[in-house]
Amino acid sequence: MLYNAKNGVIHVDDHDMHYIRFGTGKKTMIMIPGVGDGFKTVKGTALPFAYAYRRFARDFTVYVFSRRENLPAGFTTQNMAEDTAKAMDILSIKSASIVGVSQGGMIAMHLAADYPEKIEKLVLAVTAACANETIGTVVTSWIDMAHRDEFKNIMIDSREKSYTEKYLKTYRMAYPFIPLMKPSSLDRFIIQAQSCLSHDATGKLGLIRCPVLVLGRAEDKIVTGDASRHIARSIPGSVLHIWPGYSHGVYEEAKDFNSRVLDFLE
């Protein structure tokens, strides 16, 4: 198959956990996506994901893990990190470089601190060590919308806060079609969003000893640029890059995002 792309599912504590794999490289990379995973897992997305990140496929075998199905209420970012470690064991992944974006970065912090033997290098993109005031305001508003079954409003608000006007010109054309993507339930998203509010890895950052790259955006409207600076200050020897001119979606908009990740990991 193109890019050696594969869709898969494993069983973690008797729960299904979907993942995708692509690439043919000898080195292993694990990507952990953000809270949008609460709407839709990576199930069935191996080929489009592999195409989007085809630059990684030459040198890495890349895995992307969703959270487990049927998340219980109160499931935390640390619980999600534990699931990721179990998934690595099930798939015989002894160690890997981890790329965590947004909530995925929150999970990756716990993973790197609690399972140092499994982590070679770590990329923390547009994420935070704990829920600051901005995260609290934004995520709480999304949870309130979810309780009112306002999927479209969540999607629009998240996009308006994540992208530049140039990028939004394309996204706004698709707003009328957002209801077609609505999942059957928003409960999974609510649980994942609540885990962002309870997230706190501040005391663990000093325990991370692998090489770390912190990527952020100065005017991030969801986690703030200060959150990235705080992480970099708290992890000894970490490297920080802050982009001007973008927001939370810098990982999609910045043309040099993937190259910076690859340069660091290689």
pLDDT tens, position by position, 193-230: 999 999 999 999 999 999 999 999 888 999 999 999 99
Cross-strand bridge partners of residue 22:
62
The whole-angstrom separation of Cα 88 and Cα 108 is 13
Q: Report the distance separating Cα 89 and Cα 26, nearest Å.
A: 18
Q: What is the pTM of this model?
A: 0.95
**Which residue, chain included where needed, has tokens 């890019």?**
3
* Residue appearing with tokens 């005391």: 203
**Per-residue pLDDT reduced to its tens digit, 69-113:** 999 999 999 999 999 999 999 999 999 999 999 999 999 999 999
Q: Give the up-direction half-sphere exposure of residue 83: CA atoms within 13 A in the CB hemisphere.
A: 26
Name the CATH superfamily, with its identifier, for domain 2-265. Answer: Alpha/Beta hydrolase fold, catalytic domain (3.40.50.1820)
In angstroms, the CA 46 to CA 168 distance is 26
Which of 102, 111, 115, 93 is CA-nearest to residue 29?
A: 93
Residue 174: CB atoms within 10 A of its CB come to 12
